C-alpha cells in the first residue's frame, strides 16, 4: 500500500502496465506521504553536518558527513577516472537512490523515475496509453504476466496470467533484469513484438506475436446480463473521476431494478486506497473495510462511509489471480462481512503498505513499505491471497470457445 499527500494508493511496486513509452504502476495499495514537500537533507562535502538522530532512524551516533564519505569518494572517482566523460550527474543521482531503495531487500519498495511517475498518474486518471496492455511482474526470474488488460493487444494475443517471457524478438532473456526486459516489450502503436512464452502445463515454449496499440483506459464498464442481473466491472481503482463514474454507472444499473449485481474485479491490479474505500462503501452499509498494521503494533482503521446505494441487493464478486491489492481490500471486506460471495480463483496476495513520496525538483518518487493491511476479520492475505467461496476456473477450451464459466456461475447464483 502506498501513501501520498491526501491520496492513498494501494500499490504492488513490482507490477507495471506495458503502455506508452515506458510503463505505469499496475497493482497498488497505499498512500502518499505528507513529506512530499520536504527538502533533501543529504550533506555535501564542506557543509555543516547534522546528526542522523534528527534526520533519520538509521542511528543517532553517526555523523552524516562521515557516513557519506565513501559515497563522495566514489562520486569523485567516477568523475575523475571514468573513461567516457562527462558523466550524467542526474542519472548517477537517480541510480544512487535506486540502489539505496533496492538495498532494503523489499520487493515492494522502489524508486520511480519521473517518466514512470508521470505515466502511473496518467493511468489512474484514465488517459490514453500505447503498448501491449498487460500487468507484469519484473522481480521474478523472467518477466511474468500478472494479467492482461481487458480488450488489450495482450489479451487478444492470448497471453495469460503466469506466462513467463523467456525471449523477446528472439533475444534470450535469461539473466536479464526484469525492468530491462519490460522496456524491450514497449514500443509505438502499430509495431509488433514477438514474445517467447513459457506457460505452466505446456511442454514447450511458444511464440506470441503482439501488435502494440493505443489503449484508452476506461476504468468502469456496466451492462445488464440475462435474467435481469446487473454487471459492473472495475479495471482499476483510479482517482475521484473513477469513483464518480462507478457511482453513476451503479445508479444507472439500479434504476433498472436488477435481481442482483455482479462486481467484476478480475485482472484489476488495484489503485488508490480512497477509491477502494468508496467502492466498498457502495455495497457495505457500515463496519470496518480494512486495517493498516504498523511495525510498532498500532493500527489505522478505515470504515464504510455510510453513503452506499447498493448495500442490500444480492451481490457476487468475481476474482482471479490478477485481482490484487485494492481489489483484495474490497473483495476481502465483502467476504469477511458476509455481504456477498467471491467466485473465481485465489487472488494475487498483495497485502503490504507503501508510503509514496514525491522527490524534490521533479526527480520522481520513492515507495517504502511501512505496514501490512488486514481484512475486517484481521487476516493478512500477503503472499496468500483470498480464497473464493465458490471456486470456478476458466480453461483454455473455455477461452477458445469465448465462454466465461465464472460469470455464468455468478448469474446462476443470483438468478436463484
Active site residues: 325, 336, 350
Q: In this structure, are residues 158 and 138 in contact, taking their beta carbons and an 8 Å threshold?
A: no
Beta-sheet pairing, 24-33 with 2-4: parallel
Beta bridge partners of 352: 372
Per the rule left: phi > 0, alpha: psi between -120 and 50, beta: everything else, 364 is left
C-alpha to C-alpha distance for 211 and 333, rounded to whole angstroms: 38
Q: In this structure, are residues 153 and 191 in contact, taking their beta carbons and an 8 Å threshold?
A: no
Kindly state the helix (H) or strand (E) to which residue 66 belongs, with its residue range. helix 64-67
Query: End-to-end alpha-carbon separation of the chain, Å?
Result: 37
How buried is residue 92: exposed, middle or buried, by Cβ count under 10 Å (0-12/13-18/19+)? middle
C-alpha to C-alpha distance for 365 and 369, rounded to whole angstroms: 14
Residue 160 C-alpha cell reads as: 495469460
Q: In this structure, are residues 127 and 19 in contact, taking their beta carbons and an 8 Å threshold?
A: no
Per the rule left: phi > 0, alpha: psi between -120 and 50, beta: everything else, 228 is left
Amino acid at each position: 500500500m502506498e501513501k501520498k499527500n491526501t491520496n492513498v494508493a494501494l500499490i504492488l511496486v513490482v507490477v507495471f502496465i506495458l503502455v506508452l513509452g515506458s510503463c505505469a504502476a499496475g497493482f497498488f495499495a497505499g498512500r502518499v506521504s505528507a513529506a512530499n514537500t520536504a527538502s533533501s537533507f543529504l550533506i555535501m562535502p564542506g557543509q555543516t553536518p547534522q546528526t542522523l538522530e534528527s534526520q533519520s532512524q538509521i542511528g543517532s551516533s553517526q555523523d552524516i558527513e562521515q557516513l557519506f564519505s565513501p559515497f563522495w569518494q566514489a562520486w569523485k572517482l567516477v568523475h575523475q577516472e571514468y573513461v567516457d566523460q562527462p558523466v550524467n550527474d542526474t542519472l548517477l543521482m537517480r541510480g544512487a537512490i535506486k540502489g539505496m531503495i533496492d538495498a532494503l531487500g523489499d520487493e515492494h519498495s522502489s524508486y520511480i523515475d519521473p517518466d514512470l511517475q508521470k505515466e502511473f498518474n496518467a493511468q489512474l486518471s484514465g488517459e490514453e496509453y500505447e503498448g501491449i496492455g498487460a500487468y507484469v511482474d519484473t522481480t521474478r526470474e523472467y518477466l511474468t504476466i500478472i494479467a492482461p488488460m481487458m480488450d488489450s493487444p495482450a489479451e487478444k494475443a492470448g497471453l495469460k496470467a503466469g506466462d513467463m517471457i523467456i525471449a523477446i524478438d528472439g533475444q534470450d532473456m535469461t539473466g536479464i533484469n526484469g525492468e530491462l526486459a519490460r522496456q524491450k516489450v514497449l514500443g509505438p502503436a502499430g509495431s509488433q513484438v514477438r514474445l517467447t512464452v513459457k506457460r505452466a502445463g505446456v511442454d514447450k515454449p511458444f511464440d506470441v506475436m503482439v501488435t502494440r496499440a493505443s489503449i484508452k483506459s476506461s476504468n468502469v464498464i456496466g451492462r445488464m446480463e440475462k435474467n435481469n442481473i446487473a454487471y459492473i466491472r472495475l479495471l482499476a481503482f483510479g482517482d475521484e473521476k473513477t469513483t464518480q463514474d462507478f457511482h453513476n454507472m451503479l445508479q444507472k444499473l439500479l434504476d433498472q431494478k436488477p435481481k442482483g449485481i455482479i462486481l467484476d474485479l478480475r485482472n484489476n491490479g488495484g489503485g488508490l486506497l480512497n477509491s477502494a474505500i468508496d467502492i466498498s462503501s457502495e455495497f457495505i452499509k457500515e463496519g470496518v473495510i480494512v486495517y493498516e498494521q504498523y511495525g510498532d503494533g498500532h493500527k489505522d482503521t478505515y470504515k464504510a462511509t455510510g453513503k452506499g446505494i447498493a448495500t442490500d441487493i444480492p451481490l457476487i464478486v468475481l476474482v482471479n489471480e490478477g485481482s490484487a491489492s485494492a481489489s483484495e481490500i474490497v473483495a476481502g471486506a465483502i467476504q469477511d462481512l458476509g455481504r456477498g460471495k467471491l467466485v473465481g480463483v485465489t487472488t494475487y496476495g498483495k497485502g503490504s503498505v507503501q508510503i509514496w513520496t514525491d522527490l524534490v525538483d521533479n526527480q520522481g518518487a520513492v515507495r517504502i513499505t511501512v505496514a501490512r493491511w488486514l481484512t475486517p476479520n484481521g487476516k493478512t492475505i500477503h503472499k496468500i491471497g483470498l480464497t473464493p467461496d465458490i471456486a470456478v476456473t476458466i480453461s483454455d477450451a473455455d477461452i477458445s470457445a469465448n465462454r466465461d464459466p465464472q460469470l455464468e456461475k455468478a448469474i446462476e447464483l443470483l438468478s436463484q
